[in-house]
């Protein structure tokens, strides 16, 4: 199977685990100076499956892949694989989870967790600012432990389509820091990068600029029934 991203591919007409395509973490991180721990949460909103009696079920599940895994999964191939579930008969949701875990562990060469759907935070975020202005260094009283931002945008490096996200940053910050970081995040507005790479670059840039950041979580908007939420920390 070749990388299906950016290609027109028909929906599978049979159960198709071989359609899954691996993405090398090493290739994805070329040029990065920092290595972070964390996880990637994949919200699968359209898990449609059929039981032995022919009854159709619709479930939402989260797949959690450790950020240290040698490989992750290409998103379109995962969507196609999940779509192929309708061509197989399952005894229960537990069997669906078992099959999903089995094939993703084989692909990523790591342990996979299957959980209930992960929900986004409810807090309203500060708007990301797209402007050509100097980013102020860290300053002021560190009264905030969590910063929320809305309006983050990057571009898919294959299709050049926009990827939109909410950003949550944990650490110790001042109001001035929040304003400066909103401008920093705006610099990604026309930058190409996969979700995981963008999240790691954000944390790396914050640390290089001496902001007291401990963790970055990027909740990217759902596309094709899948939302990807990378979480990275020191």
Q: How far apart are CA 12 and CA 2, in angstroms?
A: 15
Query: Helices (DSSP H) in 53-160: which residue ranges?
Result: 75-83, 93-108
Return the pLDDT at 86: 97
Return the pLDDT at 121: 95
**What residues pair up with 58 in beta bridges, in sequence order?**
48
The tens digit of pLDDT for each residue in 50-69 reads 999 999 999 999 999 999 99
pTM confidence score? 0.94
Higher-confidence residue: 9 or 51? 51
Query: Is the domain of 110 the same as that of 143?
Result: no
Domain containing 29 — which CATH number? 3.30.1130.10
The tens digit of pLDDT for each residue in 119-162 reads 999 999 999 999 888 888 998 889 999 999 999 999 999 889 99
Tell whether 137 is covered by a domain. yes
Of the three residues 59, 94, 116, the one that is the final residue of a domain is 116
The residue behind tokens 């959980």 is: 115
Rg of the chain's alpha carbons, rounded to an integer?
Answer: 19
CA nearest neighbour of 62 among 107, 100, 99: 100
What is the extent of the structural domain holding 24? 17-116
Tell whether 106 is covered by a domain. yes
- Burial grade of 200 (CB within 10 A; 0-12, 13-18, 19 or more): buried
């Amino acid at each position: 199977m070749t990388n299906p991203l950016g290609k027109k591919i028909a929906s599978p007409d049979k159960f198709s685990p071989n359609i899954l395509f691996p993405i090398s973490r090493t290739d994805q991180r070329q040029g990065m100076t920092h290595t972070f721990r964390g996880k990637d949460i994949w919200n699968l909103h359209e898990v449609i499956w059929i039981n032995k009696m022919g009854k159709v079920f619709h479930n939402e599940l989260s797949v959690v892949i450790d950020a240290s895994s040698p490989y992750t999964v290409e998103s379109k191939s995962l969507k196609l694989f999940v779509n192929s579930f309708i061509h197989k008969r399952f005894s229960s949701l537990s069997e669906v989870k078992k099959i999903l875990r089995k094939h993703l562990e084989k692909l990523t060469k790591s342990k996979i967790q299957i959980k209930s759907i992960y929900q986004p935070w409810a807090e309203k975020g500060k708007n990301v600012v797209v402007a050509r202005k100097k980013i102020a260094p860290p300053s002021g009283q560190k009264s905030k432990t969590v910063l929320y931002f809305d309006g983050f945008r990057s571009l898919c490096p294959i299709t050049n389509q926009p990827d939109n996200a909410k950003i949550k940053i944990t650490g110790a910050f001042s109001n001035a820091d929040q304003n400066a970081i909103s401008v920093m995040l705006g610099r990604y507005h026309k930058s190409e990068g996969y979700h995981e790479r963008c999240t790691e670059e954000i944390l790396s840039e914050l640390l290089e600029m001496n902001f007291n950041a401990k963790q970055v979580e990027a909740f990217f908007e759902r596309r094709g029934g899948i939302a990807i939420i990378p979480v990275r920390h020191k």
